[in-house]
Chains A and B, each alone.
Chain A
Amino acid sequence: MVSGRVGRYGRLGVWAMLLTLAACDVAEPEPARLVVEAFVETGQPLPPVTIRRTADLDDPDAAPPVSDAAVMLTLGGEDVAYAPVPGQPGQYAPQRARTAEAGETLALAVTWQSQRATASSRMPAPIALDSVRIVPAAAPVEAVFADSLGLEVREGFLYPVDVTLYWTAPEADPNADSSWVRARLRPPAAFPSAVVDFVLLTDATRREADLAAGPNVRRWSGVYAVPVDSPGDPLPPHALDVFVLRSGTDYARYALSRTDPDRREPVGNVRGGLGIAAGLALDRRTLAVGE
C-alpha cells in the first residue's frame, strides 16, 4: 500500500518535473565570435581587412580586436595570405600585391582558436560617375527643426540641394539582375532635424536595373539640406562627398540593414561568424558647392 502510494506520487513527480522542464527556457551562453570586415574594390589593390570578436554586453571594450587569427583571401582561385599589421590590432594586410578584377570570385577564410569564418563574394564591374548635377534652391525655405523626440521644436531656414548622379551601365553582365548600387551624399554635417530628415534623401541602395535612365545610362537623385540663420542668407560654401558603389546582393543586404543599430544587426555574409566580406566597385568625388 505504502509502496503503491510512493510509486503513484513518484510518477506524478516525474510528470510534474517533465511539465516544468517543458516550460523552461534555457538560455545558452554565447562564446565570443569572429567579426569580419573586408571590402575589396574592383581595379584596386587588395585592402587590409579588420578582424574583431564579439564582446560581452558589460564589456567596456566594445570592439575587441583579434590579432592572432590566420587570414587567407582567395581571389580568382589564387590564395593571398594576410598577416597582422604591427601597431594596428585587428588589422591584417595582404602579403603580396594583387589587384582585384571584375568577374573574379572572392573567398575569405579566417581561423581563430577553434573558430573558422568564411565568406564569398564576386567582384562587380567597375563603376564611374559620368556627371553630377547639383541644384541648390534659389533661396532658403522655411522649415521645422525638431529633434527625434519632438521635444525641441523651432522654425528655421534651409537650402534644399538636389543632387543627381549619372553613370554608365555595366557592359553585358550575366549577373546584371543581381547588380545593386548604393549612392550616397555626404555633406559636411548631418542635418539637425528629424522632421526634415524624413524627406531628405542622402543614402539609398537600389537594384541597378531600377535606376535606368536610358539604354546605358543610370541615374539617381537625392536631396540634402544646409541650414541657414535667416531667409536672406546665401548658401554657405561647403564640400560635398558623393559616392556611387556597385555590388552584388551580399553588400546590398548589408547596406540596407545596417542603418538602425538599436533595432537590428546588419545582414552579413560570413558563415561561422559575423560581418561582411564583399567585392564592390566604387567611385567617389568631393565637390565644392556654393562657391
Chain B
Amino acid sequence: MRRSSPLLLLWIAVLAFAVPEAAAQSIRLTAERTPLEAVLQQLAAQTGIDVVFAQRLVEGRAVTGRYLGDDPEQALATILRDSGLRAERLRPGQYVIVSAFPTPGLEPEPYYGTLRGTVVDGETSEVLPGAHVVLVGLGLGTATNPAGYFALPGLPAGSYRVRVSYIGYRTVEREISVYPESEEVPPTVRLVPQVFVGGEAVVEGTEGERSDLLPVPGSDAVDVRQAAAIPAFLGESDLFQALEWLPGVGRAGEAGGELVIRGSDSHFNRYLLDGAPIIHPWHTFGLFSTFQTEALKSVRLYKGSFPAEYGGGLSSVLDVEMKDGDRDDVAGVVALSPVSVRAVGEIPLGRGASLMLSGRRSYLDLLLSPRVQATSSALFLSEGEVAPESKQDLGYYFFDVGAKVTLRPSPFHRFSVSYYEGGDDLNADVPFVSLIEPGQTDVPNPLGLRLNYGWGNRILSARYRYLYGRRLFLTATGYYSRYRAGEQAFVQPTTTSLVDSDYRVHFAETGLTADVDYYYSLEHQIRFGTRLVGRTFESTLDETIRRSETDDGAVRTQRDAVRALEAVAYVQDTWQPSAEWQVQPGVRVELFGLGPYVSVSPRVNVRYVVTPGRLFAKAGLSRQVQYLHRLRDRYSYTYDLASSRWIPASGAVRPAVGWQVAAGLEAVPANWLSLGLDVYGRQLGDILLPADAFQDKDGIEGPGILPGALLEQYVAGSGRSFGIEAAAQAERGRWRLGLSYAFARSQERPPGEVYRRARYDAPHTLKGLLQGALGRWTVSLAATARSGYPVTVPVARYALGDVLDGDEADPTYYLARPAINNGRLPVYARVDLAVGYAFRLFGMDWDANVQAYNLFNRRNTVGQRFDPDPPVVTATDVQGLPILPMVNLKGQW
C-alpha cells in the first residue's frame, strides 16, 4: 500500500481544492416596481441560492424594496414584503415562494406534500430502478427505488418541473403537482429508449443521462440494450462479455472466464438475480454467463463501496433484474448464434399482469452426436441413482430457462415470481477401442472412459412491493437458490483395474428479506431492512480405486453436511443537506451462526456537486464480510474438477473481511461527453490462499472432500489492491464511443511472507468501444490492450538427485522459481468487430450480424511452460485464439 498512499493523498487533495469555499456574499438589491421574477433572479445570481416558484404565483407581480446586507433570507423577506408572498426554506440555500395569505377558494391552504411518481419504459411499461428525478431549478433530486418509485416529501404545494433520466433513455421534463387534491395514484413518467444501434429510428429529444445520482463511487449501471450489441465471443450475446468493457472489469481467461473485478478473484463477487444469489453464474467453465441479455431489465455493478443493503462479497456486487414482461403488447426475441438458440417472450396477461419467458440452449451436441441421450445427465440423477450407460460418444450442452410473472392488482401493490434454471451437461463415453480403431465403438470392450458431469443453478424468487401512503415503500422477498453439481467418472484402463467415483455438491440458500424505503423528508431518505438466510452445504464422495485383480480396492465414502444461519439488519440514510451535498451513511450488522461471528460493517458514501450538471465528486468507505470461502481440492483428478465448492466460516476458518475506500470525479463538459475518474484502495484479510502454490491436481488419490482436508491445503492470508480508472464516453447522434484506462495493482500475501502479485494483477488496461449506425447498418468495434497476467518464471536451473535413484542415475533437473508470479506474460491485445444489418421480414425486425473475434488474428500469449531438461531451458508459449468469424441472426417483434 506504500506506493498507493501518495496517490490517495493526491486525490484527497484534489477533491479538497475542488470544493469552493463558502464565503459571505454581499447582497445589494434595489427594486422600484420591478417584476418579481427579475428580482428573484437577481438575488439568486448574487447569492447562489436556489429559488423555485410556480409561474402563476409570480407572474404579473412587481415589488419595491431595497436591501443591502449579507443575509439571503432577509433579502427575500424584504423584497417579498407587501407582495402577498413569502419564502419557505426547504434546505440551506434553497427556497420556494408560496402565498403568504392564502384565501379560501382562491389559493390553496398552506400544504406540504410529497412529489412522487413511478418511472417506466415508455415502450414496455417496465419499471426503471435507479432513474434520476431532479427538480429543475433546485438541483434537488433522488433516484427511483427498485420498483421505479420516487418521492420527494415536504414540498410546499405547487407545480414542479421535474427532469427524469435513465441510462439508455432520452431525458424528459414534465410538470408534477403537489396539491392536497392530487390524486392518490402516483403519476407515471414514461421514458423513451434511445436508439443507437439495431434500429432505424432516432428519437428526437434531449440527450440521455450523463452522471450517476448515486453517491456510490465505482458503480456502473449497464444499458442492457447497448450490452446486447457489443461483440461477443462466438457471437453469444452475454452480460459478462458486455461488462468486460467497463473499466476495472476483466475476465479470468482469454475468451471468457469468471469476472475479475479490480484484480480480485471471482469468488469475492456476489451475483444477485431478482434479489436471489446465484452461486455459479457461468457456463462452459466460465466462457459464457448464465445471464441472457435480452431477458434483463436492469444491471448494476458495484465495484467498490457498496450501499449497506449489500453484503456477502468482498470485491463487487452484480445486481441483475429480469424483465417483468411487456404489459401492453406481445413482444419477443428469437436469436441464433453459432453456439446457441435463444428466445425471449413477453406476454401481457391483462389487468396490469405480465409474463416473461426466456430460454437458451447450445446445440452443437445435437449436430455432432446423433445419438444424444439427454437423460444420461448426471445433473438430474437423484441420490444413489446410477447413471445409465450412455450411447453418446461425446456431448456437451448448456441451457437456461427463465420465467417471471408480475401482477399489479393496484398501483400500490405489486407481486412478482421469478424462476430461473440453468445448467451444463458434459457427457463422455469413450471406449478406448474407438481410439485404436476409429468407428469401432460398437465392439463390446470394457476398457474405456465414461464421464457424466453436470452442474447448474435453480432459483425461485417471490417479491412483493407495497406503497403505503406516499412515503413508505416496502419490498419483501423470499427466495430459494440452489446450486447442484455432479461429477461421475469411470475409468477402466485394464480389465482388472478401475477408478469409479461419484462426487456431488449441493448448496442451497433460502432467504427472507425485507427492505423499507421511508421518505422522511426532503433531506432524509431512509432505507432499512433485514435478511434471514439459511444455507445448507452438502458434499458426498463415493470412490473406488482398484489397481489389480487381487487389490481389495480403496473404497471411500465421505459425506459432509453443514447448515448455517445468518441474520442481517441494516440501516442507511440518504441525506441531502444541500443541493451540493449528498451523504449516505449506513451500517450493516450481521450474525453468522457458525462460529458464531458478529460483525458490524460501517458504510458511507458522499456525493458533492462541484458544478451543477457538469462536475461531481464522490467518495466512499465501506467494510465487507464474506462468510463463504470457495475452495478446490488441489490433488485428485477424481473429484472437484468442474464444481464450485463453498465452505462456510466456522471455528476452523474465519470469515474474510475487506475494507474499501474509493473516490471519484464525474464531469460532463458537454452534453455529448462525459468523463469519469475513480481511485480506490482495498484491503482484504483472512482470505484463503493455497498453502503450496505449485501444487495442482496430479493423481487419482487425494485427501478427500471433508472440510478439514480442504482447509489443510490453504492458509489464511491477506490481499490488497489499488488503482485509478479513467473513462470517457461520447455520444453524437447514433454514434457512441467509450474509452477507458485503468491502472491497477492487486497483491496477496500468505502469512509470514511479503506481498506478491495476485493472479490477475494487470497494471495497465486500455479499452475502447465504438458503436454506431449508418442507415440500416450497425457497427460495433471493441478493442482492449492490457498488461499480461502474472506468471511464475524460473530464474535458474539446478540438478538434484535422490537417495532411491541409485548412484548411476542422472540427477533430475529442476527450475528455481524463488517467487510466485515473479514474471508477466506479454501484453494482451485484441480487437473485436460486429457489423449488423437491420431489415424487416415476416412482420418482424431482424438483425443479421457478422462478428469477428480477434479481428487482426493477433496470437496473444496466454500461458507459458518451461522445460528444464538440457541443454538449455526452453519456454513454450501457450497461444490464444485466432480470428473467429461468426454469424448471428436476431429477430424481434
Spell out A's residues near B (CB within 8 Å): 15, 18-19, 21-25, 27, 29-30, 32-33, 35, 37, 39, 41, 50, 52-60, 62-63, 135, 137, 141-144, 146, 150, 153-155, 158, 160-162, 182, 184, 186, 193, 195-196, 198-201, 221, 223, 225, 243, 245, 255, 257-267, 274-276, 280, 282
Interchain CB contact under 8 A, A143 and B816: no
Interchain CB contact under 8 A, B872 and A59: yes
Complex contacts, B692 vs chain A, CB 8 Å: 257, 267
Residue tally, chain B, CB below 8 Å to A: 69
Interchain CB contact under 8 A, B794 and A243: no
Complex contacts, B550 vs chain A, CB 8 Å: 135, 137, 162
Interchain CB contact under 8 A, B799 and A63: yes
Closest 5 A/B residue pairs (Cβ): A63-B799, A23-B763, A264-B694, A54-B796, A30-B795
Known: A57-B873, A258-B812. A144 touches B447 (CB 8 A): yes
Instruction: Tell me the nearest residue of chain A to B823, going by C-beta.
Output: A27
Complex contacts, A19 vs chain B, CB 8 Å: 7, 724, 743
Complex contacts, A59 vs chain B, CB 8 Å: 797, 872
Interchain CB contact under 8 A, A144 and B493: yes
Interchain CB contact under 8 A, A18 and B803: no
- The complex places the Cα of A57 from the Cα of B763 at a distance, in Å, of 27
Spell out B's residues near A (CB within 8 Å): 3-4, 6-7, 10, 432-433, 435-436, 447, 491, 493-499, 545-551, 692, 694-696, 698, 700, 724, 743, 745, 757, 763-764, 787, 794-804, 811-818, 822-824, 865-873
| CB<8 Å pairs between A and B, sample of 6 | A58-B872, A60-B870, A144-B432, A199-B546, A223-B547, A265-B694
Instruction: Tell me the nearest residue of chain A to B792, going by C-beta.
Output: A264
Interchain CB contact under 8 A, B547 and A160: yes
Known: A19-B7, A22-B745, A58-B873. A198 touches B804 (CB 8 A): no
Complex contacts, A259 vs chain B, CB 8 Å: 698
Interchain CB contact under 8 A, A153 and B798: no
Interchain CB contact under 8 A, A33 and B816: yes
Interchain CB contact under 8 A, B797 and A39: no
- The complex places the Cα of A22 from the Cα of B803 at a distance, in Å, of 46
CB proximity of A231 to chain B, nearest CB, Å: 11
Instruction: Tell me the nearest residue of chain A to B875, going by C-beta.
Output: A57
CB proximity of B251 to chain A, nearest CB, Å: 20
- Tally inter-chain residue pairs, CB-CB below 8 A: 204
Instruction: Tell me the nearest residue of chain B to A21, going by C-beta.
Output: B3
- The complex places the Cα of A236 from the Cα of B548 at a distance, in Å, of 18
Known: A23-B745, A262-B868. A57 touches B796 (CB 8 A): yes
Complex contacts, B6 vs chain A, CB 8 Å: 18
Interchain CB contact under 8 A, A160 and B496: yes
Interchain CB contact under 8 A, B547 and A200: yes
Interchain CB contact under 8 A, A137 and B548: yes
Partner of B547, one of A56, A62, A201, A275: A201
Interchain CB contact under 8 A, B812 and A261: yes
Complex contacts, B812 vs chain A, CB 8 Å: 258, 261
Interchain CB contact under 8 A, A50 and B801: yes
Known: A144-B432, A262-B866. A52 touches B799 (CB 8 A): yes
- The complex places the Cα of A243 from the Cα of B803 at a distance, in Å, of 10
Known: A258-B812, A261-B812, A262-B866. A62 touches B823 (CB 8 A): no
- The complex places the Cα of A243 from the Cα of B806 at a distance, in Å, of 11
Interchain CB contact under 8 A, A143 and B549: no
Partner of B818, one of A30, A32, A198: A30
Known: A55-B797, A160-B494. A245 touches B432 (CB 8 A): no
Known: A146-B435, A200-B547, A260-B698. A37 touches B804 (CB 8 A): no
Interchain CB contact under 8 A, B435 and A153: yes
Known: A143-B495, A160-B547, A266-B814. A182 touches B435 (CB 8 A): no
Complex contacts, B815 vs chain A, CB 8 Å: 57, 261, 265
Instruction: Tell me the nearest residue of chain A to B824, going by C-beta.
Output: A25
Complex contacts, A162 vs chain B, CB 8 Å: 547-548, 550-551
Counting chain A CB atoms within 10 Å of each CB, the highest count among B447, B499, B546, B865 belongs to B447
Instruction: Tell me the nearest residue of chain B to A151, going by C-beta.
Output: B435
- The complex places the Cα of A257 from the Cα of B696 at a distance, in Å, of 11
Partner of A274, one of B745, B816, B865, B867: B816
Known: A23-B764, A182-B804. A62 touches B799 (CB 8 A): yes
- The complex places the Cα of A221 from the Cα of B552 at a distance, in Å, of 11
Instruction: Tell me the nearest residue of chain A to B873, going by C-beta.
Output: A57
CB proximity of B264 to chain A, nearest CB, Å: 18
- The complex places the Cα of A63 from the Cα of B796 at a distance, in Å, of 11
- The complex places the Cα of A280 from the Cα of B802 at a distance, in Å, of 12
- The complex places the Cα of A161 from the Cα of B550 at a distance, in Å, of 9
CB proximity of B70 to chain A, nearest CB, Å: 33
CB proximity of A252 to chain B, nearest CB, Å: 13
Q: Beyond the given A62-B871, A137-B550, A199-B498, could you list 16 further A-B residue pairs with CB under 8 A, ordered by the A residue number?
A: A18-B7, A22-B4, A23-B743, A62-B799, A63-B799, A144-B432, A144-B493, A182-B804, A199-B547, A259-B698, A261-B813, A263-B698, A265-B816, A274-B798, A274-B816, A275-B800
CB proximity of A31 to chain B, nearest CB, Å: 9
Complex contacts, B795 vs chain A, CB 8 Å: 29-30, 57
CB proximity of A193 to chain B, nearest CB, Å: 8
Counting chain B CB atoms within 10 Å of each CB, the highest count among A22, A146, A199 belongs to A199
Interchain CB contact under 8 A, A265 and B547: no
Complex contacts, A24 vs chain B, CB 8 Å: 763
Known: A55-B797, A144-B447, A153-B432. A261 touches B493 (CB 8 A): no
Interchain CB contact under 8 A, B548 and A154: no
Complex contacts, A193 vs chain B, CB 8 Å: 493
- The complex places the Cα of A155 from the Cα of B872 at a distance, in Å, of 36
Known: A19-B724, A221-B551, A258-B812. A142 touches B494 (CB 8 A): yes
CB proximity of A234 to chain B, nearest CB, Å: 17
Interchain CB contact under 8 A, B871 and A60: yes
Interchain CB contact under 8 A, B803 and A245: yes
- The complex places the Cα of A199 from the Cα of B436 at a distance, in Å, of 20
- The complex places the Cα of A149 from the Cα of B614 at a distance, in Å, of 61
Complex contacts, A196 vs chain B, CB 8 Å: 493-494, 497
Interchain CB contact under 8 A, A62 and B494: no
Known: A196-B494, A258-B800. A150 touches B548 (CB 8 A): no
Complex contacts, B803 vs chain A, CB 8 Å: 39, 41, 245, 280, 282
- The complex places the Cα of A280 from the Cα of B804 at a distance, in Å, of 11
Interchain CB contact under 8 A, A198 and B797: no
Counting chain B CB atoms within 10 Å of each CB, the highest count among A27, A144, A245 belongs to A144
Complex contacts, B764 vs chain A, CB 8 Å: 23
Instruction: Tell me the nearest residue of chain A to B448, going by C-beta.
Output: A144
Instruction: Tell me the nearest residue of chain A to B497, going by C-beta.
Output: A199
Interchain CB contact under 8 A, B495 and A142: yes
Known: A50-B801, A223-B548. A195 touches B796 (CB 8 A): no
Interchain CB contact under 8 A, A223 and B551: yes
Instruction: Tell me the nearest residue of chain B to A251, going by C-beta.
Output: B803
- The complex places the Cα of A264 from the Cα of B797 at a distance, in Å, of 12
Known: A25-B824, A52-B799, A280-B803. A262 touches B867 (CB 8 A): yes
Known: A154-B436, A223-B548. A143 touches B801 (CB 8 A): no
Complex contacts, B800 vs chain A, CB 8 Å: 35, 37, 258, 266, 274-276
CB proximity of A260 to chain B, nearest CB, Å: 6
- The complex places the Cα of A282 from the Cα of B803 at a distance, in Å, of 9
Interchain CB contact under 8 A, A245 and B804: yes
- The complex places the Cα of A275 from the Cα of B801 at a distance, in Å, of 9
Interchain CB contact under 8 A, B549 and A160: yes
CB proximity of B137 to chain A, nearest CB, Å: 36
Complex contacts, B546 vs chain A, CB 8 Å: 199
Instruction: Tell me the nearest residue of chain A to B817, going by C-beta.
Output: A265
CB proximity of A147 to chain B, nearest CB, Å: 12
Complex contacts, B794 vs chain A, CB 8 Å: 57
Instruction: Tell me the nearest residue of chain A to B498, going by C-beta.
Output: A199
- The complex places the Cα of A196 from the Cα of B812 at a distance, in Å, of 24
CB proximity of A47 to chain B, nearest CB, Å: 9
Instruction: Tell me the nearest residue of chain A to B546, going by C-beta.
Output: A199
- The complex places the Cα of A37 from the Cα of B801 at a distance, in Å, of 7
Complex contacts, B494 vs chain A, CB 8 Å: 141-144, 158, 160, 196, 199, 225
